[in-house]
């Protein structure tokens, strides 16, 4: 069930990124909307990178929930080596930051490299760029526009 939720969230993110990209490209060709266009396009990239990470996380959950032959130890947790992977008794998923965590039977946990290393820093960096461009676009639009009487 978790896999389905992650897949739907990734698909929704892709749809939102597409809409933001189209709106951003339309704003590029309008006069005095360059900052708004930059904010929309950076927002599309932010959502797109996060959705890409969700897709990777969903695939890891799909592998972890597979109950077929060779399902123990959990497939995403095998990267730590057979000694450590044999102690895994469960997993957890984190959404902020995106990560897949393997829990050990003796206590403790470790994070796998399921989500590419650029996803979390890219999401944060692009999110800050989106917020900065959005704030600048809002403040410059208020200065340019005459007050409504």
Strands (E), 42-128: 88-95, 98-104, 109-111
- d(Cα 116, Cα 50) in Å, to the nearest integer? 11
What is the tens place of the pLDDT at every residue in 98-116?
A: 999 988 888 888 888 889 9
Q: What is the model's pLDDT at position 144?
A: 59
Find tokens 């809409």 and name the residue. 19
- What's the rounded Cα separation, in Å, for the pair 38 and 44? 10
The confidence score (pLDDT) of residue 117 equals 93
Supply the pLDDT for residue 67.
66
Q: What is the pLDDT, as a whole number, of residue 75?
A: 77
pLDDT of residue 90: 83
Q: What confidence score (pLDDT) does residue 46 get?
A: 97
Residue spans of the chain under pLDDT 70: 67-71, 141-149
23 contact partners, CB below 8 Å, separation of at least 6: 40
């Amino acid at each position: 069930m978790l896999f389905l939720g992650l897949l739907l969230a990734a698909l929704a993110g892709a749809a939102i990124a597409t809409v933001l990209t189209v709106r951003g490209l339309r704003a590029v060709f309008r006069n005095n909307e360059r900052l708004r266009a930059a904010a929309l396009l950076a927002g599309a990239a932010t959502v797109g990178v996060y959705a890409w990470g969700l897709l990777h996380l969903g695939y890891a959950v799909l592998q972890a929930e597979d109950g077929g032959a060779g399902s123990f130890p959990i497939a995403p947790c095998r990267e730590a080596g057979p000694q450590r992977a044999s102690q895994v008794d469960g997993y957890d998923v984190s959404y902020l930051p995106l990560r897949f965590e393997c829990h050990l039977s003796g206590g403790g946990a470790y994070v796998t490299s399921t989500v590419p290393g650029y996803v979390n820093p890219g999401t944060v960096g692009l999110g800050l760029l989106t917020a900065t461009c959005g704030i600048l676009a809002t403040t410059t639009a208020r200065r340019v526009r005459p007050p409504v009487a």
